[in-house]
């Protein structure tokens, strides 16, 4: 079946440095790739997403890149700050209003920012 692999499972970076989390997906019909941040005791919250017709998207310190040929996408966080410490999840979906589809999540990356 479809799956999404996410690496690394844990990541520790010095405050101010960059962090990169990578995901690969198996379903070539996937067209929507969101990234979620989950803080302790809370539900996941969308931080950025990208669709299959775009190769890169940036929002301030956060960027996502997509390589459809290789079926992988990555989250880049620059100038990391203590409040970036959280668990991050990638996901892939081919859902459209005209066709039902599951959403597949990666297993998560625990990001720790060292002061």
What does the binding site for another protein look like in residue numbers (CB under 8 A)?
Answer: 1, 6, 9, 31-32, 34, 36, 41-46, 49, 51, 89, 91, 93, 95-98, 100-108
Judged by CB, which is closer to another protein: 12, or 18?
Answer: 12
Q: Residue 20 — left, alpha, or beta (φ > 0 → left; ψ -120 to 50 → alpha)?
A: beta
Comparing CB distances to another protein, the nearer of 91 and 111 is: 91
Nearer to another protein, 60 or 115 (CB): 60
Kindly state the smallest distance separating residue 100's Cβ from another protein, in Å: 5
Q: Nearer to another protein by C-beta: 5 or 79?
A: 5
Nearest to 26 by CA among 81, 113, 106: 106
Nearest approach in angstroms of CB 96 to another protein is 5
């Amino acid at each position: 079946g479809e799956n999404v692999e996410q690496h690394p499972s844990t990541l520790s970076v010095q405050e101010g440095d960059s962090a990169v989390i990578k995901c690969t997906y198996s379903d070539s019909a996937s067209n929507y790739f969101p990234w979620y941040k989950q803080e302790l005791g809370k539900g996941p919250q969308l931080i950025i997403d990208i669709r299959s017709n775009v190769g890169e998207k940036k929002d301030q310190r956060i960027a996502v890149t997509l390589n459809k040929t290789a079926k992988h996408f990555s989250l880049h966080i620059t100038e990391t700050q203590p409040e970036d410490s959280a668990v991050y999840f990638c996901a892939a979906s081919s859902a459209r209003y005209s066709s039902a589809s599951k959403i597949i999540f990666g297993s998560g990356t625990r990001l720790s920012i060292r002061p």
